[in-house]
Structure 1
Amino acid sequence: MARTPTALLSPADQERRRALRTMKGVALGALLLMALLFVVAFALQSTYPGMAYVRAFAEGGMVGALADWFAVTALFRHPLGIPIPHTAIIPNRKDEIGRTLGEFVETNFLSGEIVRTKLEATHIAERLGAWLRTPAHAERVATEGAAMAAGVLRALSDDDVREVIEDLAREHLIEPEWGPPAGAWLTRVIGSGAHHGAVDLAVDSILGWLEVNYAAFEGLVSRRLPAWLPRMAARLVDDTVYREAVTFMLAMQADPQHSARIAIDDYLTRLADNLQHDPETIGKLEDAKSRIFDSPRVRELAGEAWNTAKTGLLKALEDPASGLRVRAKAALEEVGERLTKDPSLQHRVDEWVTNAAVFLVDRYRHDIASIITETVERWDPDETTEKIELMVGRDLQYIRLNGTFVGALAGLVIFTIAHALLG
């Protein structure tokens, strides 16, 4: 396998390569030490019978060292260049490893509950407030936001915008109001607990499927493990995954206050609140809607309003001294000040950010995880092997080292027992 020149590696990878070479030298040194002990003990055991124990110790150490060397090497390449079956596992199964890694990240990291737990402990609003109340930071946000808004405005087609405005207005404003009734209906559903039946049905359905589909978990993880692992160990992994899934669903079924159920209730409650509006505001919007859309000049007025608004906005966005920019900067500083001092506002912002992040993760986690899979698929097999070896190879050398001494002790114990029993 061709090695990447050291000069092309990052400083961190260069350090990992040095550490890997050092540990390989240590593991090889342990093997050579056992070989030297074996030679000496073998030559002297006829003169000094006690050296037979040293010979057994060294012999077991060599066997353990060679066995673990083969196992570790087989992950990354063919031992001694010989194409033995089930060796060079990583380069031969690169794409499958990428898919497995993507699935692992999606399942264990891109989870709504994991993201929620992390964000709830981060205190995002307080940190954001401390950053925003600095004038330089507020100015920077206002400047960047103005540049982005101006770019979007210039990219829009006036005719398309007018059509979109009219279509959206007719679809969502002329029709009878539906936000408050929908929010009120959902509030009543949540208040009566009627939605719990749907949650119970979903939990029962999943548990029923798990009970009759144990076979679906056979090989789910174990088939991705190295072939040299014992079948018992591989099956234990599959059994553990299945038991954990069943345990989680049983806990959710038995506990009305389970965290997953509470999360569902919280989400539905927030959805109901968002669907409802202030009655006075609703009335004003309804009056304005009626006045505007009862006029035959709707399209003309929409076009004039858009052109005027666009011209005024572009001018204000491009002028650092404009009232819009100045007020935006002041507003950002004020928001930062409030975020650092108002616990209730902090709570609302943290909740909103957390819910938005959980929604995005739950909806797009597969697409996010696919980046890993597609990236690994584009890697060269040799490059993939080297990247993985640099990350975990040093730790794997400890396996070789441990195998040397465990094998030595095993050889000594076996020889001692055999000598005691058989003479």
Structure 2
Amino acid sequence: MERIEGIGPGERGAGTEAGEGSGEGAGGGGAGTRRSASLASFSYTAADEEKRRGVRRMKTMASGLLLLVALVYVLATWAKNEGVGGWPGFVAAAAEAGMVGALADWFAVTALFKRPLGLPIPHTAIIPTKKDQLGASLGSFVGENFLSGGVVRDRIHSLGIGGRLGAWLAEPEHADRVTAELSTALRGALTVLRDSDVQAVVGEAITRRANAAEIGPSLGKMLEKVVADGGHRKVVDLVCVRAHDWLVQHGDSVMDAVQGGAPGWTPRFVDKRVGERVYKELLRFVTEMRDMPGHPARGSIDTFLTDFAADLQTDSETRARVERLKSEVLGRGEVQDVIASAWSSVRTMVIAAAEDEQSELRLRARASLMSLGARLATDGRLQAKLEGWLEDAAVYVVTTYRTEITSLISDTVAGWDADQTSKKIEAHIGRDLQFIRINGTVVGALAGLAIYTVSRALGG
């Protein structure tokens, strides 16, 4: 009887070979690879074999019980035929019904995994022959009952993710952990990116944005505000100081330049006197501008800057000249190199900050996470908003990609080898199924005894 129930070593080897053959014969290319991977992920393991030994022990017990009731039936029938009255009839009826129950349940359990006695009986070997349909049905069941928008939304809402996440983030050690993980991810992302690609993208983006936006009006407004606030005066002060100091140090150069520009027919002493006079007047003018905040030249500068700011905003010719100048500057190779090299500087700075636990970047990120956690833990509106986003995102995913998700189940099951699938499932649930056979034997015997007793009581 055990040989009927089990699958011997030869059959196990055949099943394995069938599984390998299915993987190889599934077709070349991607389909064959996917099927082989599916078989590998659902292979029959040593742990399954250990479970299967437990199944065999239970099969032996169930089959032994069947043999026991068969022996009891034979002995009770013999005693009854020998003229022993009373109990043999009751025992024979119970044993007979027990055999019927045991055989019926043996057939039912065996029919799940293979054809009983190898006979082509309809609706047997259900798992090997109906594996693909079972996978499709399982996928449909999961899609209808677990991946519906209402179920997902209710489940996420019941979790109270907002408050729990807030309380978790508010703990300093948790904020440190998240900050460290984010830093690791940031460093990894920056390491993977190629500098040349990012530099090209950054340079093109900055250039395109700069060319698309007219800068004249913006510069005019900024200059107008600077002049109105007197911010330019410090620049004028600095220029006057530096000009005065330069003239003091390079007086001879100024006088030589003036003398060199004089006509050739003038006497040299006249050229020298003119040069000295020009230098003294120039030095006096710069000194007065430096020392007199109300100097007329400073007022002229204010007027010029004010007019220029207005022209930048309203005069079309001035704006056009500024745009041409901007295009010329952006088109220079040196400027493009500076724009492109900005990424390298930023990347180095960010990586260094991400690696340093005491950097301003990580400290601010940690503080922001803890602040967010504290708000989430106490602010009901913020919790509701976060949970609403999560619910909407989850519902969108499961409703949009439900077919792809459920097809993962059905396609995976379809890729399993039928024999290995049957063996693996039997190894995991076969032990419990053998209790059905034992229960069937016991319940059948009790039912047979009850029926025989009632029949005798009614005079049958």
Residue 158 in 1 paired to residue 237 in 2?
no
Residue 347 in 1 paired to residue 369 in 2?
no
Deviation at 1:395, TM superposition (A): 3.2
The residue aligned with 1:30 is: 65
Distance in structure 1 (CA, Å) of the matches to 2:134 and 2:127: 7
Taking structure 1 as reference, are residues 334 and 52 closer, same or farther at Cα in structure 2, changes over 3 Å only? same
Deviation at 1:62, TM superposition (A): 0.4
Taking structure 1 as reference, are residues 109 and 372 closer, same or farther at Cα in structure 2, changes over 3 Å only? same
Q: Is the 8 A contact 2:203 2:340 kept in 1?
A: no
What is the letter of the counterpart of residue 139 of structure 1? D
Unmatched runs of 5 consecutive residues or more in structure 2:
1-10, 17-43, 210-322
Q: Is the 8 A contact 2:199 2:341 kept in 1?
A: no
Q: Secondary structure at the match of 1:121?
A: helix
The residue aligned with 1:391 is: 428
Q: Secondary structure at the match of 2:147?
A: coil
What is the letter of the counterpart of residue 43 of structure 1? W
The residue aligned with 2:375 is: 338
From 344, 352, 357, the equivalent of 2:394 is 357
Distance in structure 2 (CA, Å) of the matches to 1:39 and 1:32: 10
Taking structure 1 as reference, are residues 409 and 375 closer, same or farther at Cα in structure 2, changes over 3 Å only? same
Distance in structure 2 (CA, Å) of the matches to 1:121 and 1:165: 45
Q: Secondary structure at the match of 2:12?
A: coil
Give per-residue Cα distances to partners, 1:89-124, cap 9 Å, x unaligned. Answer: 212333332222222222222222222222222222
The residue aligned with 2:107 is: 70
What is the letter of the counterpart of residue 40 of structure 1? L
What is the letter of the counterpart of residue 181 of structure 2? E
TM-score, L = length of structure 1? 0.58
From 160, 164, 180, the equivalent of 1:127 is 164
Deviation at 1:385, TM superposition (A): 1.4
From 41, 50, 53, the equivalent of 2:76 is 41
Distance in structure 2 (CA, Å) of the matches to 1:418 and 1:163: 99
Deviation at 1:412, TM superposition (A): 3.7
Taking structure 1 as reference, are residues 386 and 134 closer, same or farther at Cα in structure 2, changes over 3 Å only? farther
Deviation at 1:362, TM superposition (A): 1.6
Deviation at 1:333, TM superposition (A): 2.0
Distance in structure 1 (CA, Å) of the matches to 2:347 and 2:167: 33
Taking structure 1 as reference, are residues 393 and 163 closer, same or farther at Cα in structure 2, changes over 3 Å only? farther
From 3, 12, 19, the equivalent of 1:2 is 12
Give per-residue Cα distances to partners, 1:123-145, cap 9 Å, x unaligned. Answer: 22232233323323222212222
Taking structure 1 as reference, are residues 79 and 164 closer, same or farther at Cα in structure 2, changes over 3 Å only? farther
Deviation at 1:306, TM superposition (A): 6.8
Unmatched runs of 5 consecutive residues or more in structure 1:
170-293
Distance in structure 2 (CA, Å) of the matches to 1:28 and 1:334: 68
Residue 379 in 1 paired to residue 416 in 2?
yes
Distance in structure 2 (CA, Å) of the matches to 1:20 and 1:83: 25
TM-score, L = length of structure 2? 0.54
The residue aligned with 1:408 is: 445
Q: Secondary structure at the match of 1:47?
A: coil
Q: Is the 8 A contact 1:65 1:403 kept in 2?
A: yes
The residue aligned with 2:139 is: 102
Q: Is the 8 A contact 2:203 2:339 kept in 1?
A: no
The residue aligned with 1:277 is: none
